[in-house]
Chains A and B, each alone.
Chain A
Amino acid sequence: MSQEVAVLGVGMHPWGKWGESFVKYGVRAAQDALRDAGLAWNDVDFVAGADTVRNGYPGYVAGATFAQALGWSGAEVVSCYGACASGAQAISVARSRILSGEAKVALVVGADAAPKGFFAPQGGRRPDDPDWLRFYLHGITNPTYFGLWARRRMDLYGATSSDFAKVKVKNARHGLHNPNARYRKEVTEDEVLGSKVVADPLHLLEICATSDGGAALVLTSLDFARKHTTKPVTIPAVSTVTPAFPNTVIEMPNLATDSGASSGPPETPFKASIAKRAYDRAGVGPEDVDVAEVYDLSTALELDWYEDIGLCAPGEAERLIRDGDTTIGGRVPVNPSGGLACFGEAVPAQAIAQVCELTWQLRGQAEGRQIEGAKLGVTANQGLFGHGSSVIVKR
Chain B
Amino acid sequence: MSEKTTVAAVEGLLVADPSAPRLLGSRCKACGTYYFPAEHTLCRTPTCSSTELESVELSTEGVLWSYTSANYKPPAPFVAKEPFEPFAIAAVTLEREQLTVLGQVVPGVGVDALKTGMAMELTLGTLHEDDEQRYLTWQWKPVGH
Contacts and interface: CB of A to CB of B under 8 A. Distances in A.
A246 B77 contact: no
Given A141-B75, A151-B116, 13 more contacts: A127-B12, A135-B76, A135-B77, A139-B80, A139-B89, A152-B66, A248-B98, A255-B103, A256-B100, A259-B34, A259-B35, A259-B36, A261-B96
Contacts of B33: 246, 258-259, 261-263
A248 to B, nearest CB: 7
Interface string A142-172: 0110111111100110000000000000000
Interface residues of A, number: 50
B129 interface: no
B20 interface: no
Contact of A137 (B10, B65, B87, B97): B10
A258 B74 CA distance: 25
B94 to A, nearest CB: 9
By secondary structure, the B interface counts as loop
B37 interface: yes
Nearest to B43: A262
A199 B70 contact: yes
Given A148-B66, A197-B71, A261 B98 contact: yes
16 contacts: A125-B77, A127-B11, A127-B12, A132-B77, A137-B127, A140-B70, A140-B89, A141-B74, A146-B68, A147-B69, A148-B65, A151-B116, A196-B71, A200-B88, A256-B101, A259-B98
Interface string A231-272: 000000000000001101110001111111111100000000
Contacts of A261: 32-34, 96-99
B114 to A, nearest CB: 9
Interface in A149-206: 149-152, 155-156, 196-202
A79 to B, nearest CB: 27
Contacts of B46: 245
B100 A250 contact: yes
B119 to A, nearest CB: 15
Given A120-B75, A151-B116, A255 B68 contact: no
A262 B70 contact: no
Contact of A197 (B12, B37, B67, B69): B69
A259 B75 CA distance: 29
A136 to B, nearest CB: 4
Interface of A: 117-118, 120-121, 125, 127, 132-141, 143-144, 146-152, 155-156, 196-202, 245-246, 248-250, 254-264
A261 B87 CA distance: 31
Contacts of A155: 66, 115-117
B102 A255 contact: yes
A262 B102 contact: no
Contacts of B143: none
Contact of B99 (A133, A139, A259): A259
Given A141-B74, A199-B68, A255 B37 contact: yes
A261 B69 CA distance: 29
A246 B67 CA distance: 22
Nearest to B127: A137
Contacts of B91: 148, 250
Given A134-B102, A257-B99, A261-B34, A151 B68 contact: yes
Contacts of A136: 9-10, 77-79, 127
A261 B66 CA distance: 20
Given A155-B66, A261-B33, A138 B89 contact: yes
B4 interface: no
Contacts of B10: 127, 133, 136-137
Contacts of A144: 68, 70, 89, 102
A196 B10 CA distance: 33
B102 to A, nearest CB: 5
